Chain A
Amino acid sequence: SAVISQKPSRDICQRGTSLTIQCQVDSQVTMMFWYRQQPGQSLTLIATANQGSEATYESGFVIDKFPISRPNLTFSTLTVSNMSPEDSSIYLCSVAEYTDTQYFGPGTRLTVL
């Protein structure tokens, strides 16, 4: 399977600021996704990152809060904007190569003070 990396691995941010998380894959992949995992909870899909076009957001998530870019088939970014303590979570990217099987990146642990 593809090797997936995320930057940063963790960060502590002040409320009202924004953080951009990067997801890099070592090979071209068909699909890239962004998930949120709140402390002790399950994974919730934020959006599907579409190469060369706007991301597809799930109910409850909006572009102004979570802008996403995917300039090519190996890279995507998720920005968490105007952060509040409720945004403290682990943010994970996942990729699917040619099937619907998804593999996850190591995650970014975000703490908002």
Chain B
Amino acid sequence: GENVEQHPSTLSVQEGDSAVIKCTYSDSASNYFPWYKQELGKRPQLIIDIRSNVGEKKDQRIAVTLNKTAKHFSLHITETQPEDSAVYFCAASANTGTASKLTFGTGTRLQVTL
């Protein structure tokens, strides 16, 4: 089955700096890659996703890049703010019709300091 690795496990940046989180996946059939943000005691919230027919996607301060050949994808957060502090999870799935099982990475705890 799919295996998703995520790095780093913790990341501390100063407010205004950029943060980058990287994930690699093993199943070449995976074609959908979402990113979730989970604040303490809250549900995971989808912040951005990318499909395998696109190499990059951007939404304001957040961007995701995908390299299908190398089987890795990354989350980029620019101009970080204290409210960006949370745990971020990457995930991958191979949509084979109606089924879309997500395999999650181990998470990155991002701390944005003042």
Contacts and interface: CB of A to CB of B under 8 A. Distances in A.
Interface stretch (B14-22, B61-69, B71-79, B92-100): B92-100
B104 A43 contact: yes
A78 to B, nearest CB: 16
Interface residues of B, number: 23
A102 interface: yes
Contacts of B44: 43, 92, 104
B46 A48 contact: no
A96 B32 CA distance: 13
B104 A48 contact: no
Interface in A80-113: 92, 96, 100-107
A31 interface: yes
B53 to A, nearest CB: 13
B93 A100 contact: yes
Interface of B is mostly: loop
Interface in A36-55: 41-45, 48
B104 A107 contact: no
B106 interface: yes
Nearest to B93: A100
For the complex of A and B, 7 pairs with smallest distance between CB atoms: A100-B100, A104-B43, A100-B95, A42-B104, A43-B104, A104-B44, A100-B32
A101 B43 contact: no
Given A31-B98, A44-B104, A45-B101, 17 more contacts: A31-B99, A33-B101, A33-B102, A41-B106, A42-B89, A42-B104, A42-B107, A45-B102, A45-B103, A48-B99, A56-B99, A92-B43, A96-B100, A100-B32, A100-B95, A102-B46, A107-B43
A50 B74 CA distance: 32
B48 to A, nearest CB: 11
Given A42-B106, A42-B107, A48-B101, A101 B34 contact: yes
Contacts of A103: 46
A30 interface: yes
A33 B99 CA distance: 10
Which one of A30, A45, A59, A104 has the highest number of Cβ atoms from chain B below 10 Å of its Cβ?
Answer: A104
Nearest to B89: A42
